[in-house]
Structure formats: C-alpha cells, structure tokens
Chain A
C-alpha cells in the first residue's frame, strides 16, 4: 500500500507535480536532442573523413610519413594490395601515390596534396566520385592528363572545368618536374580544408611524372565493411606485413579519437548538469509536499509506521514524480532524435563555418540505444539523491508535536 500511497500523493497537488514533470520532460528532451546532435555531427565528421580521406586503415613504407618522400614507397604494392584484399572484413583496397606539390594556373598557384589513384579501385575506398559537383570522375577520355580538384581549390586557382593546371613536383631523383593536367571534375566534401588542398590524378600519370615504377605506391588504403573491426584487422595486417607501417584512422588522426571520446564524456556531463539543475526543483517540490503533510506524517509515525517506511514513502514519491517525467522525456527525446536522425537538420545557415572544421551542413542526430537506458538510470539516481533531504526532514518530525501542528 505504501507504493499506492506514494503514487497517489504525487497527484495530490496536480499543478505542482505537473510543473516539475514538465521541467524534467523538457530538460531531458532538450538534453537528449542536443547530445544526439553533437554526437551525430561528430560521427558524421569521422565517417566522412574515413570515406573521403582516411579509409579505415592505411599502409605505408615506415619512413614515408616523416616528410611524404615518394622514394619511401611500397614496392610491389599490387601484391600487398592483393593480400590485404583477401583479409576478413576488407571491403575495398586502393593504391595511392601521394605527395606534396604546387598547383598553378595562368594567374595563381598554391600548395596541394596530389593523390594518384586508380579511379575504379578508389571508388570502393573513398566517396570522392559521389561528391562531384561538376564534370566527371576520370570517365571522359581526353588527350591531356585529367585532374579532379576540390571546389575551394578551383576557386583559389581561378580555374574551372576544362582549364589547365600545372603541377610542380619533386621526382624520384629529388628534382622538380612539371606536368600539365586538365580539370575534368570538381568535388566538394564536408571539409573545406580538404577541398582547398587536395587534387586527384591517375596513378599512372603521376608515376610517370615523378619517375616511379607504376607497380609501386606510397600508400595502400583499406576500407572495411564495418568500422568496429578496424583495430582487429589492423592487428592482423601488422603481423602479416611486419616491415610496413600499418595505421588505423585513429593512429593517423588521434585528435578525432580524442575528440570522439571527449564528446562521449560530454554527452553524460551535459545531461548530468541538466539533471543536477532539475534536482533542485524536485527537492523544492518534495520539501513543500513534506511540510504540507507534517500532521499526516506525524500520525503515521504515531500509529506505528517505522522511520524506514516513512523514508521509503517519501523516496518513492520523489522517484515516481521524477521517473514519470523521465519516461515521457526520454520517449520524447527518442522520438525527436529518430525523426531528425532520418530527416536531418539543415544547418546551411552556418554551413561555411561548419565545413571549415569538417562538419556537414545537414546534421543527423544519433545516440546509441544504451544511452537512453543510462539516462533512465541517471533520472532514478537523481530522484534518489533529491529525495534524501525531504525524507530526512520528514524523519526529524516528532509525532507528538507533528500531530498537533496547525495545517
């Protein structure tokens, strides 16, 4: 019956209970949605980076990464790529020749990262082919060497589709050499820094320009069927190719992993702060509820209700009050996240700023389903903490005095 009394007591002052519940509901809906948005944007940024630049795993000559010197390449890269593609969970493998270069047009020039690719293989590893905003992805046969550039870079170079770009690059003998390329495609990703500094050419064209054996590559990019296997597959590849440097995207961009784990911690901290604020409201409401019922609590103690039961009754009331709001809040948050997780939120108003740091202009909020469960536990925990003070206040009442208290 104590459960029943506690539940009915929640509805004794409907307005007050509803105000507290609404505070919990709005707090949780807002909290969960904000957290999901932050998490979704973070996940999108990582996924987008994996899809456009990093892949899940990269393999290099151990000395290549020191200063991107093409002389430190992987000989017989075809054979390595073949073996890698036979590994479990590997979805696609692509060989790159990548190095720093200077891209120039008739009017201006800028430093770029030039990446020589096999377009067919590359399409399985990165999504650059799907990010074209103009032209095509090395599909059109032209007399000069084709090049695909980022939209921002095209703007910097005052170049457009069909225009010539001259690449100045250090060859295998450490001499500067030049090659003329014609723009066949312009791409745009979520990351304007990437778009501003990256060009793609055919691997054979680049190998020929710098005098590298076309069977060699400076890096082998590996895409997996699921990101969660990255560590496992990388471990296996390290054993298979002990003389090569096998790195995961987390090794290459440790700041992503750091930012990711920081975001995960922030998800809980943010909600904890919201619940902390709500706890004061709950304490206040419960304190009022106790002070209004001094006489009744005194009677309960007088007729034989133990302090433990009185404490439990106040605690249950607080939990019912908070959890009712909590359940609705979590369901509301879930519905909102599910809806916008599919429909997306258009942040194009601030897309320029977002793209500068690699975020997409349409965000898809998302959180792990376990997060809702943990939020539920956090609500119960908050209610328990919030109930302690009012419950202790009730226990301090002396039955003889409380019974005669004027209402």
Chain B
C-alpha cells in the first residue's frame, strides 16, 4: 500500500504576474520502504514537489495523501504537528542548530514530541551511533565536517520515528567520500529498517544508487524507472 499518494498536483507561482507552472499535474505513489530519487534539471520542479509532499508549500491544485490523510486540508497548527509526527527532513545545508551539540540537535525534535528527557537522550545517542558519529555526540555542528553534519541531520530526521524521510539535495555540499558514506548508511537503514527515503537530487552518485528514479521535466514526470534488485 502506498504511504504517499500525489494526485494531479499543480503549483503555479505568480510572483511577477507571469504565471510559472513549477509543478504541472503530477501523479505519484510511493510505497513503504522505497528509496526513491526525484531527479531533473534545476527549475524542473523537484524541490517544489518535495515541499508540497512535506506540507511546507500548498499546491495550487491537486492533493497529497499520506496514510489516508489529505495533508493540505489540515489546519496550519495540525499541519505542523503532522510534519512533526510523520515526516523527517534532511536539508541540503544540513540546517542544524549551531548552539546545540549533535546529541541535542537530535533530541530537540523528540522534545517537540514531548518524549521524556531520559528516552530522548537514550534514543539520540542510539541514532548518532547508528549514523556512525556516536563519538561526536557532544560536538557542536561548527566542529563537525560537512559529512558528519549531514549524518547528524539524518539522525535528527529519524528521531521522530517518521513515516518517511524527505531529503532535498542531501549530497550537494558533500565530497565524494562523504556522499558515498552517507548513501551507504541510508541504504543500510532502508534495507534493515524499511525506512522510506525520497530524495530530490541531480547528483549522479545518488541517482546511481536509488532503486527508483522519477525524472521531472517542466513540472511533469517524464520517466519513472524502478531498478531490479
């Protein structure tokens, strides 16, 4: 069963009085446990699509259904709560809180979910160990490399036990080794824990390792290929 269902999704920006169709009628289903890359050139609409799936942007037309919830029908406050409980985010620039340590960055999401201090500290450490940076738990982001920061970012995304993780160009700022290590780690999590990952990327290294690749051009899906395992 699909955990994400995108139906006839449109997004038209009209900021300069010249309507721009960023997303122009996309239908997409994502099953649990998929490792999907949404690819396409710059301006093709992949980030806009990801933002609408993540509830960060409202579609002009169409709907996004996540586990039977039409998320864009939710009120603003309910939408924030829905994101907190169901969606993990990994950003291109990591976007960690610089004044918190790696552990605190991960635990912070669980605090928003009102998890007890003991449980969130325990889980934060567990996640940091799983992402390979348990020994850096008390480091602040400024003291970590880009690859390490992105690992903290993945740990943070996993902290809320989300239905799926949306990663917007997660490897764009990483070198080859860090990218390979990060992908290894995420693929392992995907295989072992059936965590669903959806990427927007134009990084060939990610595309090569994703088992489903959805290509978007001019706001429409131009191809949707699934690799045989």
With a cutoff of 8 Å between Cβ atoms, the chain A residues found around residue B77 in the complex are 306
Task: Name A281-324 residues within 8 Å CB distance of B.
Answer: 295-296, 298-307, 309
Inter-chain residue pair count (beta carbon < 8 A): 68
**Given A399-B56, A400-B56, are A1 and B107 neighbors across the interface (CB < 8 Å)?**
yes
Cα separation A307 to B108 with both chains bound (whole Å): 16
Please state if A299 and B91 are interface contacts (CB–CB under 8 Å): yes
Contact, CB under 8 Å: B80 / A304:
yes
- Interface membership of B109, Cβ < 8 A: yes
A155 at the B interface (CB under 8 A): no
Query: Contacts of B100 on A, CB cut-off 8 Å?
Result: 1, 4-5, 8
CB-based nearest A residue for B52: A400
For the complex, is A403 an interface residue (Cβ under 8 Å from B)? yes
Q: Which residue of B lies closest to A6 (CB)?
A: B99
- Of the candidates A4, A12, A398, A404, the one having the most CB atoms from chain B within 10 angstroms of its own CB is A404
B80 to A301, Cβ gap below 8 A?
A: yes
Mask for B93-127, Cβ within 8 A of A = 1, else 0?
10101111000100111011100000000000000
- On chain B, the residues within 8 Å of A12 by CB distance are 98-99
Enumerate chain B residues within 8 angstroms of A300, measured Cβ to Cβ.
97
Which residue from chain B places its CB closest to the CB of A309 in the assembled complex?
B112
Judge whether B80 and A306 touch: CB under 8 Å: yes
Is A304 a contact partner of B109 (Cβ separation < 8 A)? yes
Nearest B residue to A300, CB-CB: B97
Report the bound CA distance from A299 to B77 in whole Å: 16
Classify chain A: how many residues form its interface, as a range.
20 to 34
B104 touches A9 (CB 8 A): no
B83 near A: Cβ within 8 Å? yes
Contact between chains at A303 and B104 (CB < 8 Å)? no
CB distance from B56 to the nearest CB of A (A): 4
Say whether B84 faces chain A, with CB atoms less than 8 Å apart. Answer: yes
Chain B: minimal CB distance from A372 (Å): 32
Whether B99 pairs with A8 at a CB distance below 8 angstroms is yes
Q: How far in angstroms is the closest Cβ of chain B from A398?
A: 8
CB distance from B204 to the nearest CB of A (A): 22
Contacts of A303 in B (CB 8 A): 83-84, 89, 109, 112, 156, 160
Chain A min CB distance to B112 (Å): 5
Q: Which of B93, B112, B156, B160 sits near A295, CB closer than 8 Å? A: B93
CB pair A5 B83 closer than 8 Å:
no
Does any Cβ of A come within 8 Å of B143's Cβ?
no
> A302 — which chain B residues lie within 8 A by C-beta?
54, 56, 83, 89
Report if B178 contacts A (CB, 8 A).
Answer: no
A305 vs B95: C-alpha distance when bound (angstroms)? 14
A233 nearest CB across to chain B (Å): 61
State the CA gap A307–B80 with chains docked (Å): 9
Query: Considering the complex, which residues of chain A in the window 368-407 have a beta carbon less than 8 Å from any beta carbon of chain B?
Result: 398-400, 403-404, 407
Say whether B97 contacts A5, CB under 8 Å: yes
Among A1, A296, A404, A407, point to the contact of B111 (Cβ < 8 A): A1
Q: Which of A25-62 contact B (CB under 8 A)?
A: none
Q: Cβ of B8: which chain A residues have Cβ within 8 Å of it?
A: none
A299→B95 contact, CB < 8 A? yes
**Which of B51, B91, B107, B160 contacts A304 (CB under 8 A)?**
B160
Taking A304-B109, A305-B112, A306-B80 as contacts, is the C-beta distance between A5 and B56 under 8 angstroms? no
Q: Distance (Å) between the CB of A320 and the closest chain B CB?
A: 13
**Contact code string B42-80 (vs A, CB < 8 Å = 1, else 0):** 000001000100101100000000000000000011001
Q: A309 to B77, alpha carbons, bound, how many Å? A: 12
CB A338 to nearest CB in B, in angstroms, measures: 37
Choose one: B54, B81, B95, B99; the contact of A9 (CB below 8 Å).
Answer: B99
Which residues of chain B come closer than 8 Å to A403, judged between CB atoms? 56, 91, 95, 168
Q: Which residues of B contact A306 (CB under 8 A)?
A: 77, 80-81
Complex-state Cα separation, A304 to B136, whole angstroms:
25
From A8, A295, A307, A400, B57 is in contact (CB under 8 Å) with A400
A-side contacts of B168, CB under 8 Å = 403
Minimum CB–CB distance from A80 to chain B (whole Å) comes to 75
B contact residues around A307 at 8 Å (CB)? 76, 80
- Most A CB contacts (10 A, CB to CB) among B81, B89, B107 go to B89
Alpha-carbon separation in the docked complex, A12 to B99 (Å): 7
Q: Which of B51, B54, B108 contacts A1 (CB 8 A)?
A: B108
* Contact A304 B83, CB 8 Å, known A1-B107, A1-B108: yes
Give the Cβ gap from B32 to chain A, nearest Cβ, in Å: 21
- The complex places the Cα of A243 from the Cα of B127 at a distance, in Å, of 91
Within 8 A of A (CB), among B153-194: 156, 160, 168
Give the residues in chain A near B104, CB-CB below 8 Å.
1, 4
Interface residue ranges, A against B (CB under 8 Å): 1, 4-5, 8-9, 11-12, 295-296, 298-307, 309, 398-400, 403-404, 407
Q: Chain B interface (Cβ within 8 Å of chain A)?
A: 47, 51, 54, 56-57, 76-77, 80-81, 83-85, 89, 91-93, 95, 97-100, 104, 107-109, 111-113, 156, 160, 168
Q: A301-B80, A306-B81, A404-B92 are in contact. List 4 more A-B contacts (CB 8 A).
A: A1-B100, A1-B107, A8-B100, A300-B97
Q: Which 9 A-B pairs have the closest CB atoms?
A: A304-B84, A8-B99, A299-B95, A400-B56, A400-B51, A400-B57, A399-B56, A1-B111, A304-B83
17 A-B pairs with C-beta separation under 8 A: A1-B107, A1-B108, A5-B100, A296-B97, A298-B95, A299-B95, A303-B84, A303-B112, A304-B83, A304-B112, A304-B113, A304-B160, A400-B56, A403-B91, A403-B95, A404-B47, A407-B93
